[in-house]
Chain A
Amino acid sequence: MFYIAPELSIFERRNWLIHMHYLKKEFDACKALIKEQLAETHGLCEYAIYVQGLILRQEGKIQESLEMFQKASILNPKNIDNLKQVARSLFLLARHKAAIEVYNEISRQQTSVDWEVLHNQGICYLYLKEFTKAKEYLKAAIDNNRHEISYIHLGRVFALEGNLQIAIDTYKQALEFSPENTEIMTTLGLLYIKIGQNQKAFEQLGQALIYNPSNVKAILAAGSMMQAHNDFDVALMKYRIAASVEPESPPLWNNIGMCFFGKKKFVAAVSCLKRAAYLSPFKWKIMYNLGLVHLTMQQYASAFHYLSAAINLRPKFGQLYMLLAICLTHLEDSNNAKKAYDQACMLDNYDPLVNLDYAIALYNWGDKRSAIKQLRLFEDKLTILKEVKSNDVDPEMEEVGNRLNAMLQIGETSSWKETPSHKNEGLSSPAEPSAPSVSSELDEQANLPSPPSESPSASVDKSSEEKRSAVLSS
C-alpha cells in the first residue's frame, strides 16, 4: 500500500511563505509574492488577499484595505476573521454604526463569546457617545477575558461620566492585572489628585517614574505636587528631564515658570511663562499666572492686561476678578475695583479671601460700614471652610482678619497700606502654582488642538535691497 503525501491544493501552496514574510515585516517581498499568487489563482486566494489588506492598513491606506477584506469575505463568507477585519476597517474609517452592525453579524454566526468582538463594540459605542452601552460591552469583554486595554477604556468612560471613584477602582483592577503599565499608573495618579488624595497620587506617580523615568505626563504631575509642597528645586530637576523630551510643551514651561516664581526669581518666571503663553495662547491659567507674577512685581498695568486676557478666556471665575480688583485698587481706580470685587463675590461664594480683600480695600477707602459687612461675610465663610477641612486654612489669613476686626472695632483712622498687597501674594501663590499644573496633565479631556496656533510672525522686513555703488569701470 502506498502512502502518497497529500498534494497541497495549489491555491494555498505559498501561504506559509507569505505568512513568514508578513511576520518579519518584509512587506515588499510579501507584496511581490501576493501579486504572483493572485495572478496565478486569478484573484481567488483568500489568504493572500487577507494579508494584502493587513499590509495596506499598516501603510495607512484604510479604504483600500477595507476593499481587500470585503473581497476576502466574499470568497469565504464563513470565515469570521475576514468579517472581523471588515468591521475593524469600518471602525478605523469612523463608520462606527456600520462597524457595530458587522460585529453583531459576527456574534450571530459565532457560537462562543469572543473578547475581541465585545471590546471593539464597546469602543464603537464610546465613539458614538452611548456610554451605558459602551460600559455594558466593555464589562462583558472583561468578564470574558481580562485585558488591560478594556480596563483603560472602561476607566475612561467612568471618568468621562464623572464617576471618579469607580474609575479609580477600575484602574486599580487593571493595575493588579498588569502591574508595570506606566500609562495606567499615571492615569490613576491623576485621578487621585482630582479627588484630593495627594499621598496616594504621589505614590502612583513615583511608581510610574521608576518604570519610565522620562514619562512627561508623570513628571508634570509629580512636579506639580512637589511645587505644592514648596519643593521647587526637586521639581525643577524633574522638569529638566521633561524639557529634553518635550521642549515645546506649554504646561511644562508654565510649571517651570511657577517654580521660579516660588523661588522668587521673577524675571526668569516671567520669561518662562511668556514662552508658555507664546506656545499656547488660549490657556487662561498661563495668563492668570503671568498676572499674578506681575502683580507681585508691582507692575500693575501689565498685570491688568494679563488678568483681563485671562477673564476673556474664562469669564466665570471669581478668583480672577479678585486679582483684577486688587490690580485696579493699586491703579487707583476705586469705582472699577468695587465693581470687580462685587463680581468676584457674586461668582465665588466659597472663598473667604475675596471678602477679606474687599473689606481691606473698603477700609482703606474709608467706607467702614461696608467693610464691616464684608468682614462678617468673611468670618462666616471662614468658619464653614474650617468645618470642611480644618488643616487647609492659611493661618495668616485668619490673623489678618482678626487685626482688621480689631481696627474696625476701635475705629482707628490710620490707614493700613501694606496689607493688601502683602496678603495676596501670600494667599494666592500657594493656591495657584499647583492648580495650573494639575489641570495641565488632565488635559486629555480638554485637549484643544490649539498648540500650533501659529507663532506671531510674519515680521519679514523688506527693508529695500541696497545696491552697492558702482565699482570697477575702467
Chain B
Amino acid sequence: MDPLFLANSYFRRRRFDDCVELCNKVLQKNPYEQAFWYLKARALTEQVYVDEVDYDEEGIAEMLMDDNAIAKVARPGTSFNKPTTSSGGPSPSVRPTTQSGRPLSGFLRPGTQGGRPGTMEQAIRTPRTAHTARPVTSASGRYVRLGTASMLSQPDGPFINVARLNLSKYASRPNLSKVLFEYLFHHENDIRSALELAALTTEACQFKDWWWKVQLGKCYYRLGLLREAEKQFKSALNMIDMVDTFLYLAKVYVRLDQPQKALEVFNKGIEVFPGESTLLTGIARIYEGINDLTSAVKYYKSVLHHDNTHVEAIACIATNHFYSDQPEIALRFFRRLLQMGVYNTQLFNNLGLCCFYAQQYDMTLNCFERALQLASDEEMDDVWYNLGHVALGIGDMTVAYQCFKLSLTSNNNHAESYNNLGVLELRKANNEQARAFFQSAASLGSHMYEPHYNFSVLAEKSGDLHSSYVSVNKALTSFTDHIESRNLLSQLKEHFAAL
C-alpha cells in the first residue's frame, strides 16, 4: 500500500502514534519528503491540541500583579472583581458562596471557584471543592507541561529544531506555514517563534488573511499583550465574521475585567450567528460572573433551546432551581443529565439532595450510597457534608455529628463542616468546644459569614463584647445585608458609645 495513503488514513482515524511512526520511517530515508513532513507535524500537533477558546485558570502572578485594571474601585456590575456590588443576586444565606463572594455555580469550570482574590494569602489557599492549587502563572501552568510531555515521546531529539529554522523562508510558503505555526504554538509551546512566523506571514500575504491575524492575536494573548491581541482580533472581525474570533475577543475582555464589553462582543456575534450555543454560553457565564443569575438562567435556557444536550446549561439551570425552592424541577434536570450518561459523584450527590428536599425519601439514601461509591478521596468530604444535612433534616443529631466528622476526616480543611459541628456543640451547651470549632471554621473559610456571626453571638452571650465586635464586622464584610449581624452590630455600638 502507498505509505502516504496509509499515513493519511492513520491520521484521519486519529491513530497519531502509528502515523508518526510511519512518517519517521519515510523521513529517515528521504528527509525532504514534504507530504510526510506535513503529516507528521500535524499528527504531533493534534496529540497535544487544546482549544484556545476555553477559559483558562488565571495564575497567581497575573491576578495579583494585574496592571490592566481600568479602575481600582469599579462601578457596580462592571467588574468580576466585586461581584457582590451588583444587586439582585440570591442572598448568601440561601445560596452558599465561593471564596470570592459569588454564588455557587452549577458547573465547575476554571475561574468559578476562586474568583479573583484580593490578597496573596487568599490566592494561595485552595478554594472549596477544587483541591488543585492554582498555577503560579498561566504561562507555566498547563502549557509547559504539554510542551515537555511531547518532547519525551521522541528519544532521537526534536522533530524540528526551532532555533535553526529560517522562518522567512516558510512565511512565503502558505501550504507549510500554517502547519508549522500550529506545531510551534501547540507542540513546542514556543510562542515567540510562532509570533515571529505569524508576523512574517501576514506581511507576506499583505495583511489580507484573517486567519493569520487571529493567530497573531492568540500569540499576543498568550504573551499577555492584551491590547495588541484585541487589535488583531478586531481587524480579523472586520474582514470576516467567525464564531471563534468573537470568542477570542470576548476572552480578551474577560481577562481585562470588562464584562460589559465582552457582552457587547457576544451580542454582536449572536446577530451574525443567531442561536450559536457557544456564544450564548459565553453570555450566560459572564452574567453568572457578575452575579446576575436571572439573566444567566435566561441565556442558559436559550442555550438548551438550541442544543438540548448541553451539560453545563442543564447543570446551571438545575442548581438555580434547587436554590430557589424548587427541588422537584431541579430533580428533573439532574435526571436528564443522568440519562445523557453523566455518571459521577457530583451528580448523584445532587440527585440525593434534590430527592430529599422534594420528599422522595426512598431514593435519597440510594443516591448518596452511589455517590459515596463513586467518590474519590477529594470528593468524599462534600458528600458526607451533605449527608450531614440530610441527617439534620430528619432531626438525627448524632448521625449528623458523625457525618460532619467524617467529612473532616477526608478533608481536614472543610470549613462548612467545622461551622456546623460548632452549631451542634452549641446545642449541647458545650460552649468552649463550639467556640473552637467556629474559630477554625472562620480561619479556614474566609468567604463564609456564618462562623463569624456564630462566634460573635457566642461571644456576646458570654459578655466578651470586644471579640464579638471584631467578628461581627468580619461577618458583615462577606455578607453586607445580613440583618441579624447588623442588629448585633448596632447593639454593640450602643454599648461602646455609652459613657
Contact = CB atoms under 8 A, between A and B. Distances in A.
A458 interface: yes
A309 B104 contact: no
A57 B496 contact: yes
Interface string A271-300: 100110111011010010000000000010
Contacts, number: 208
Given A305-B394, A463-B107, A455 B95 contact: yes
Interface stretch (B135-143, B224-232, B295-303, B459-467): B459-467
A58 B466 contact: no
Contacts of B204: none
Contact of B346 (A311, A461, A466, A473): A461
A249 B464 CA distance: 26
Contact of B349 (A63, A92, A450, A459): A459
A237 to B, nearest CB: 21
B484 A458 contact: no
A463 B463 contact: no
The main secondary structure of chain A at its interface with chain B is: loop
17 contacts: A58-B497, A96-B463, A127-B463, A247-B91, A275-B325, A301-B361, A305-B359, A449-B453, A452-B450, A452-B484, A454-B96, A458-B416, A461-B346, A464-B342, A467-B54, A470-B49, A473-B178
Nearest to A315: B395
Interface string B433-462: 000000000000000011001100110011
A467 B49 CA distance: 10
A387 interface: no
Interface string A434-468: 00000000000001111111111111111111111
Interface string B337-357: 100001010110110010001
A321 to B, nearest CB: 14
A451 B182 CA distance: 56
B91 A281 contact: no
A20 interface: no
Contact of A459 (B46, B50, B346): B346
Contacts of A447: 457
B106 A461 contact: yes
Contacts of B205: none
Given A458-B386, A461-B350, 17 more contacts: A62-B466, A246-B483, A247-B91, A282-B427, A299-B359, A301-B361, A302-B361, A312-B395, A313-B395, A449-B423, A451-B93, A453-B420, A454-B416, A455-B96, A462-B108, A463-B312, A468-B54
B419 interface: yes
Interface string B303-330: 0000000011001001100110100000
Interface of A: 57-58, 60-63, 85, 88, 91-94, 96, 127, 245-249, 271, 274-275, 277-279, 281-282, 284, 287, 299, 301-302, 305, 308-313, 447-474
Nearest to A149: B498
A457 B96 contact: yes
Contacts of A299: 359
A312 B244 contact: no
A110 B342 CA distance: 79
A198 B344 CA distance: 57
Q: Which 10 A-B pairs have the closest CB atoms?
A: A312-B395, A309-B395, A449-B457, A456-B389, A452-B450, A94-B463, A62-B466, A474-B178, A457-B96, A94-B464
B93 A459 contact: no
A465 B112 CA distance: 12
Contacts of B392: 281-282, 453
B93 A452 contact: yes
A247 B49 CA distance: 50
A229 to B, nearest CB: 29
Contacts of A287: 395
B427 A450 contact: yes
Nearest to A120: B498
Size category of the binding interface on chain B: 35 or more
A62 B465 contact: yes
B453 A458 contact: no
B319 A245 contact: no
A246 B485 CA distance: 12
B51 interface: yes
B449 A448 contact: no
Contact of A454 (B182, B347, B419, B464): B419
A243 B311 CA distance: 36
B427 to A, nearest CB: 7
B470 A60 contact: yes
Interface of B: 42, 45-46, 49-51, 53-54, 91, 93-96, 104-110, 128-129, 178-179, 182, 211, 214, 244, 278, 311-312, 315, 318-319, 322-323, 325, 337, 342, 344, 346-347, 349-350, 353, 357, 359, 361, 379, 382, 385-386, 389-390, 392-397, 416, 419-420, 423, 426-427, 449-450, 453-454, 457-458, 461-466, 469-470, 473, 483-484, 492-493, 495-497, 499
B266 to A, nearest CB: 16
Contact of A279 (B93, B278, B453, B454): B93
Contact of A278 (B53, B94, B214, B427): B94
Nearest to B97: A457
A287 to B, nearest CB: 7
B107 A461 contact: yes
Given A245-B483, A278-B94, A453 B394 contact: no
A468 B466 contact: no
Given A94-B462, A450-B426, A463 B357 contact: no
Contact of B129 (A271, A282, A458, A466): A458
Nearest to B352: A459
A467 B51 contact: yes
Contacts of B211: 472
A92 B468 CA distance: 10
A61 B470 CA distance: 9
A60 B465 CA distance: 9
Contacts of A464: 311, 342, 344
Given A248-B91, A460-B382, A308 B394 contact: yes
Given A274-B325, A459-B346, A460-B129, A454 B450 contact: yes
A466 to B, nearest CB: 7
Contacts of B95: 455, 457
